[in-house]
Chain A
Amino acid sequence: MIPVLVKREFTTRVKGTAYILTTVVGVLVFIGLSFLPPIMERLSSSIAPKHIELVVLDQGIESSHLPFLLQLSQEREDLTIRDASGLDERAAYAMVLDENLSGLLLIDGPLCTLVTPDSKNVVLNEEIENVVNQAATLWRATQLGLTQDEMQSLFHAVDFRIREVAPEQEDGREVDQVAQTQAMVLAYFLLFMIYMALILYGNMVASGVAEEKSSRIMEVMVSTVKPVELMFGKIIGVGALGLLQFFVWISTGLVMTFLGRTSFLGGLLGVAEPLRAVPLGGILWFGLYFLLGYFFYASIFAAAGALVSRVEEVSQVVSLLMMFIMVGFFGAYFSFLNPNSSFAVTTSLIPFTAPMVMFARIMLADPPLVQVAASVVIMLLAIAVGTWLSSKIYRIGILLYGKRPSLGQVARFLKG
């Protein structure tokens, strides 16, 4: 019987406008993301100042930054410094306004003040601050009597690497920083997808049940089909829709990744390197934890949907469930910072949060196999218990109309 129900659920929804629309919008977003880095680049270059032309008035007793600013302006093409010595402040500023220059810089020993008609132009003013800081560094270095070579060695970046060695291993491999960042971005992205999926499809299940109640088809159905079968037909049907949608989206993402020079994942965090291989492992783990999480939550969503008479009331009863999912999401988010903390380990074994936290841990660290297996077993048990309890609420709820039952009444459904 269940295959017939699944088929109905799937075929009627897959042709629905809402489903097609979200799928298409998702595909467009994925395509859009892969164009994000070049767009961002163009955008930022259009905002950035092309040329800085400063009027500088040194009011200090001793000369300080000015010679170094002049030195910098010779090295950099996009920087022009006009020495306004001899003019008074008013005349110097008039020059800025007349010729539409970047600003007037007043220097008094170590103190620098920028006089500008537009203090809101953050990009320009920050760039000016950078220039002044560079000049200041040069000035101080000269005061300390450093040579050019000494200067360079002082600012030379260290060659910093990370080597990860597991306790039972003799020697580890060097960590590829780019790969690490990409793994992070991918993990974060897929985690967000699980979070979205649980909320999106959970709600679809709940409102589907409420729809069956409000259209009064429910009584025909339960006279023929066992309520549990009806519930599973809906859960599996909606789950299949979800998998199809993700298949389309992830395929789009991967195709764009290989077509384009920049990766669509890179677009999210501005990592310019393309993905080096299909993150197949990650996608498979995603599939597993999406399904575990979905089956756990979907039955509870179905029971929640059975408690209301109209689709409009669904959001009231599912808000608590959404809270649990959000807690799981933020739990996973904190686990990103330290995937092996006791907080992460604990939440990766609690059914409400495990699908997200354990997934995040697997993506970022290599959690002990025992823990991974334990989380899967716990999830399977939780699904069994959850669906059993939910089906009890569902069975009674689906024939209730009118006032929504109280929590006490729901507890009685569970006993009966």
Chain B
Amino acid sequence: MSLVIADVTKRFRDVKAVDQLSFTVREGALFGFLGPNGAGKTTTMRVILGIIKSDEGTVTWKGKDFGRWGTGFYGYLPEERGLYPKMRVAEHLEFLGRIHGLDKQKARRETSRWLERFELGDLGSKRVEELSKGNQQKVQVIGTMLHDPELIILDEPFSGLDPVNSALLKDVLLEAHDRGKTVIFSSHRMDQVEEICQDIALINRGRLLLYGNLKQIKKSMGRQILRLSLEGNTDFWARIPGLHLLQERADYLEFRLDEGVDANRVLAEAMEAGQVIRFELVEPSLDQIFVEKVGEGA
């Protein structure tokens, strides 16, 4: 009972935008879909939704071909935002609700409910073109969720939103998740993905680099990050094999520990070198995993 992407390949001329891509999004998951610019995220989403046809592979939802479910069960927010500029906001949302299969009354009711939820209640009679970019984006997010779809697919939903509205969107997504909806979104903001997603897929050049439960992925990276702050001689670390300086910050130094390096030995060496103020072992951040994995592939 899930969204299954199996062996999907999409070529544009000679370039493989998506290359033998397979992953599964289980029902009810909040799924982060990651990758650098041009990795093939948007193309993958378009293939899932049937906007473009794949050259190979299949996409199924709950065991049945995706395209055979009709269109009412999902909501899609494309990366390129767009609305009819001349339409009035409420009118536009009702229209989007209608083409997703809502009847007239329901479309109207949901429109006003969602406009309230997104604090746009008094803008319903304005033309879309009169709204700020951020508000237009909120309207479009509403258009994606209005018909209460089971599956919500969002392409870079946080880009262009200020922190207040980002938090609002995050709440809305978490709420949908709590109600058992399946949410997939792409992002290049790793902190947001880390904050709300359990499962992720990371792709680059159309290929899957990492996929699975975020916690397990972090564990399976097989190494740890050390944050160290020290008063005294900080050059001691160069003597320890398997310790690599990642970044030098004003408040602490960050190292990567190779597998098998004994953290206690590092601590002992550090105490000898000076006064230890901070010694912290952390899991690698998604950001670091991202940079490392994408870097490896290059």
Contact = CB atoms under 8 A, between A and B. Distances in A.
Contact of A215 (B51, B83, B99, B100): B83
B82 A12 contact: no
Nearest to A1: B99
A218 interface: yes
Interface in A215-263: 215-225
A110 interface: no
A224 B71 contact: yes
B210 to A, nearest CB: 27
Contacts of A224: 71, 76, 99-100
B128 to A, nearest CB: 9
Given A1-B99, A215-B82, A215-B84, A220 B140 contact: yes
B114 to A, nearest CB: 16
B83 A222 contact: no
- A-side interface mostly: helix
Contacts of B193: none
A8 interface: yes
B52 A8 contact: no
A61 interface: no
B84 A12 contact: yes
B76 A8 contact: no
Contacts of A212: 84
Interface in B74-95: 76-78, 80-87, 95
B49 interface: yes
B206 interface: no
A15 B284 CA distance: 58
A101 interface: no
Given A5-B99, A8-B95, A217 B71 contact: no
A16 interface: yes
A4 B98 CA distance: 7
Given A1-B99, A219-B78, A220-B76, A12 B86 contact: yes
Given A8-B95, A225-B71, A225-B99, A216 B82 contact: yes
A4 B95 contact: yes
B84 A223 contact: no
Contacts of B80: 216, 219
B3 interface: no
B95 A218 contact: no
A16 B77 CA distance: 28
B143 interface: yes
Greatest chain B CB density within 10 A among A5, A16, A220, A222 is at A220
B200 interface: no
A380 B61 CA distance: 39
B83 A223 contact: no
Nearest to B53: A416
B96 interface: yes
A222 B53 CA distance: 13
A4 B95 CA distance: 7
A241 B172 CA distance: 40
Contacts of A4: 95, 98-99
B83 A217 contact: yes
Interface string B270-283: 00000000000000
Contacts of B71: 223-225
A28 interface: no
A407 B157 CA distance: 37
Contacts of B100: 224
Interface in B110-129: none
A222 B49 CA distance: 9
A288 interface: no
Contacts of A12: 84, 86-87
Contacts of B81: 216
Given A12-B86, A16-B86, A215-B85, A223 B78 contact: yes
A12 B129 CA distance: 14
A5 B87 CA distance: 13
Nearest to A396: B52
A399 interface: yes
Contacts of B86: 12, 16
Contacts of B51: 219, 222-223, 399
Interface in B40-63: 46, 49, 51-52
B95 A220 contact: no
Contacts of A399: 46, 51-52
Contact of B82 (A1, A5, A16, A218): A218
Interface string A1-17: 10011001000100010
Nearest to B71: A224
A5 B95 CA distance: 8
A260 to B, nearest CB: 39
A218 B80 CA distance: 10
A8 B98 CA distance: 11
B87 A220 contact: no
Contacts of B77: 220
B292 to A, nearest CB: 33
Nearest to A223: B76
B82 A223 contact: no
Contacts of A1: 99
A399 B77 CA distance: 15
Interface in A1-52: 1, 4-5, 8, 12, 16
Nearest to B81: A216
A220 B85 contact: no
B82 to A, nearest CB: 3
Interface of B: 46, 49, 51-52, 71, 76-78, 80-87, 95-96, 98-100, 140, 143
29 contacts: A4-B95, A4-B98, A5-B99, A8-B87, A12-B86, A16-B86, A212-B84, A215-B82, A215-B83, A215-B84, A215-B85, A216-B78, A216-B80, A217-B82, A218-B82, A219-B78, A219-B80, A220-B78, A220-B83, A220-B96, A220-B140, A220-B143, A221-B99, A222-B51, A223-B49, A223-B71, A224-B76, A224-B99, A225-B99
Closest 5 pairs (CB-CB, A-B)? A216-B82, A217-B82, A219-B78, A223-B76, A216-B80
Interface of A: 1, 4-5, 8, 12, 16, 212, 215-225, 399
Given A12-B84, A16-B86, A219-B80, 13 more contacts: A1-B99, A12-B87, A212-B84, A215-B83, A215-B85, A216-B78, A216-B81, A218-B82, A220-B77, A222-B51, A223-B76, A224-B71, A399-B52
